[in-house]
Amino acid sequence: MPLGAHLRELRNRVVVVAVAVTVLSVVGWVFYDEVFAVLGRPLAVAAAEAGREDDVTLNIGSVVGVFDLKVRVSVFTGVLLASPVWLWQLWAFITPGLTRREKRYATAFVTASVPLFLGGVALAYTALPRAVTFLVELTPEGIVNLVDTSMYLGFVMRILLAFGIAFLLPVVLVALNVIGVLQARSMLRAWRWVVVVSFAFAAVATPSPEVTAMFFLAVPMTLLFFVAIGISALNDRRRARRDREEGYGGLADEEVSPL
């Protein structure tokens, strides 16, 4: 496919994603209060665990900041709700040259990607109170900690999206294996680096002195990586067997050919 056609296809898919996110952001706007309460809960839990309910509170510094905050939370909700759409568009864009047989993997890709993405978001959300508790406990006694709402929600939304996207890594690896770009043995050779990066990422994303929080996030990421290796190995074996069968078939045709 020419470069121009690729760019037009990318533009069309970006437009589809943008429309889906915009429409579903309206849902986030309507249910803003409920979403805000869910995002603010980790701070409330952390303050209660630290015994600082009266000293730690969210704060908005300007009138305009209220509107900006509502827009950001609404768009964040739209991105989460539109995950099936943009995951499908991603798959369709990176695999335009697949055969009809290989395109059947598209449904499996989206079916696996959406739960993994939302599962990563949910897992990060359950670990957030531990991380926020550690940060809240740094507040000196007698000091009221007026947490900037915009910065706090930005921190929470970045963590949630980061772990949701991180949990998509195994599906991306399997997708690259399906289109023949990456083999299972290549992934296996890099397993040490993947484990180190997974734990480093979890340590940075959960700034808590408790090791359990880091393991709580890093171990599932590592396990999913090895699951991707297993699925890719099965696919490599299936592809090699099909190539051998097609090779033998071609050889037999040549032997019986009068030419």
pLDDT tens per residue across span 156-190: 888 888 888 888 888 888 878 877 778 888 888 88
Q: Where are the beta strands (DSSP E) in the chain?
A: 56-59, 145-148
Q: CB–CB of 17/82 below 8 Å?
A: yes
pLDDT beyond 80 at 150: yes
At residue 72 the predicted structure's pLDDT band, cuts being 50, 70 and 90, is: very high
Give the model confidence (pLDDT) of 236-251 as tens digits.
Answer: 888 888 877 776 555 4
pLDDT beyond 70 at 30: yes
- Mean pLDDT, the chain, whole residue set: 80
Residue position matching structure tokens 């099936």: 84
pLDDT of residue 28: 93
Q: What is the pTM of this model?
A: 0.76
pLDDT of residue 73: 93
pLDDT of residue 2: 64
Q: What is the DSSP letter of 140?
A: P
Q: How many CA atoms lie within 13 A of 126 on its CB side?
A: 11
Spans of all domains in the chain: 3-256
Percent helix, strand and coil across the chain, each to the nearest 5: 80, 5, 15
Residue position matching structure tokens 């759409």: 85
Q: CB–CB of 35/28 below 8 Å?
A: yes
pLDDT of residue 198: 81
pLDDT beyond 80 at 120: yes
